[in-house]
């Protein structure tokens, strides 16, 4: 409970201003005054007549850590494709905050508006150091390009150091990213997303292939990030989901079958049937 309250407070503080930590004006005002940061309403996507999403509706609150679970083919990845502009829905509404209509924007515009996505496979620059990876991610952010040509100013360095601490890679800052463990690469990629100051992070199976210890540390990291950021995590590891989620949405055949606490969802009769494969 205390965790949820602290999180809501951090989210409120952050949404009050559209100015980033180093004083830049964020590109487009995100209006979360009604608490929600993401709305999907009656979203449908068909591939050759097959409905991958079938009037899917989902609302995620600002600062929430939402887990999305569901069997293979349920539409989880397609949902992320719709949010990030990779796939256009046939019908339905997709809003970022109250006012930003994501269906009218390109993929780069959506990323620039503050939605970061991490795919399953880590894509770090293996031949650069961990520090350089974060630096490159920051410079790739078009909103800072004009002020950051060559040398990093101290605010930018501070941001990189803060991010290194967050993703537990301070001691590895000078190592080549290619030498990191699988789990560390995943954290680095999350760090690279954070450098672009997103508001919403979409993570597709972020702990797949991690060791138990890395999984525990990932849970800690996501719990730290929630509140300041909103996280949507697609994950198959139910213990992990139970440990981190504020709320769980169970997707099945392109729509939400159940929603609420992991405990509640796992007692839902239809959910049990689906997961037992009946
Ligand atoms: P999940 O991520 O939950 O496993 P997906 O969103 O990847 O599910 O897929 C939902 C359904 O849509 C699946 O049946 C899949 O085969 C189909 N699908 C996804 N993308 C495409 C595509 N580009 N073309 C044709 N069918 C697709
Ligand atoms: Mg998928």
Q: Which of 40, 47, 117, 120 to mutate to test the pocket of ligand 1 (most atoms within 8 A of CB)?
A: 47
Please tell me if the CB atom of residue 215 comes closer than 6 angstroms to any atom of ligand 1. no
Q: Report CA dihedral (148, 17, 249, 57) to the nearest 10 degrees.
A: -100
- The model's pTM is 0.87
Number of Cβ within 10 Å of residue 133's Cβ equals: 25
Ligand nearest to C-alpha 72: 1
Atom number, ligand 1, closest to the C-alpha of residue 81:
6
Parts of the chain with a pLDDT under 50: 16-27, 146, 148
**Alpha-carbon distance 150 to 223, whole Å?**
35
pLDDT cut 70: percent of the chain above it: 86
| Alpha helical stretches, state H, 45-153 | 76-83, 107-113, 130-140
Please tell me if the CB atom of residue 76 comes closer than 6 angstroms to any atom of ligand 1. yes
**pLDDT value of position 34:** 84
Please tell me if the CB atom of residue 249 comes closer than 6 angstroms to any atom of ligand 1. no
**pLDDT value of position 38:** 98
Closest CA to 233 of 112, 64, 97, 87: 64
Please tell me if the CB atom of residue 244 comes closer than 6 angstroms to any atom of ligand 1. no
**pLDDT value of position 271:** 85
Residue with tokens 């850590």: 65
Please tell me if the CB atom of residue 180 comes closer than 6 angstroms to any atom of ligand 1. no
Return phi, psi of residue 5, to 5°. -70, -45
**pLDDT value of position 154:** 84
Please tell me if the CB atom of residue 198 comes closer than 6 angstroms to any atom of ligand 1. no
Please tell me if the CB atom of residue 77 comes closer than 6 angstroms to any atom of ligand 1. yes
**How far is ligand 1, taken at its centre, from the CA of residue 149, in Å?**
41
Atom number, ligand 1, closest to the C-alpha of residue 53:
10
**How far is ligand 1, taken at its centre, from the CA of residue 78, in Å?**
6
**pLDDT value of position 276:** 77
Please tell me if the CB atom of residue 72 comes closer than 6 angstroms to any atom of ligand 1. yes
**Alpha-carbon distance 159 to 21, whole Å?**
9
Ligand nearest to C-alpha 71: 1
What domains does the chain contain, in order, with CATH numbers? 2-275 (3.40.50.300)
**How far is ligand 2, taken at its centre, from the CA of residue 75, in Å?**
7
Query: On the CB side of 174, how many CA atoms lie within 13 Å of its CA?
Result: 1
**pLDDT value of position 265:** 87
**Alpha-carbon distance 16 to 180, whole Å?**
37
């Amino acid at each position: 409970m205390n965790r949820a309250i602290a999180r809501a407070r951090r989210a409120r503080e952050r949404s009050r201003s559209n100015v980033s930590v180093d004083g830049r004006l964020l590109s487009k005002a995100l209006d979360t005054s009604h608490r929600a940061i993401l709305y999907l309403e009656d979203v449908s996507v068909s591939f050759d007549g097959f409905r991958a999403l079938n009037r899917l509706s989902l609302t995620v609150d600002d600062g929430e850590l939402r887990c999305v679970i569901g069997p293979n083919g349920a539409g989880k990845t397609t949902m992320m494709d719709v949010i990030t502009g990779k796939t256009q829905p046939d019908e339905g509404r997709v809003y970022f905050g109250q006012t930003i209509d994501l269906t009218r924007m390109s993929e780069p515009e959506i990323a620039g508006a503050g939605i970061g996505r991490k795919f399953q496979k880590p894509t770090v620059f293996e031949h650069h150091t961990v520090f350089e990876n974060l630096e490159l991610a920051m410079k790739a952010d078009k909103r800072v390009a004009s002020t950051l040509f060559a040398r990093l100013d101290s605010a930018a360095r501070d941001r990189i150091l803060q991010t290194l601490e967050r993703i537990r890679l301070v001691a590895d800052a000078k190592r080549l990213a290619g030498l990191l463990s699988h789990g560390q690469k995943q954290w680095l990629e999350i760090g690279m997303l954070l450098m672009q100051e997103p508001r919403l992070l979409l993570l597709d199976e972020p702990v797949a292939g991690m060791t138990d210890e890395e999984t525990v540390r990932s849970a800690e990291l996501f719990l730290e990030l929630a509140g300041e950021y909103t996280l949507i995590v697609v994950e198959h590891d139910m213990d992990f989901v139970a440990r981190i989620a504020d709320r769980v949405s169970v997707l099945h055949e392109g729509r939400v079958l159940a929603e609420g606490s992991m405990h509640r969802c796992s007692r839902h009769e239809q959910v049990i049937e689906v997961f037992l494969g009946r």
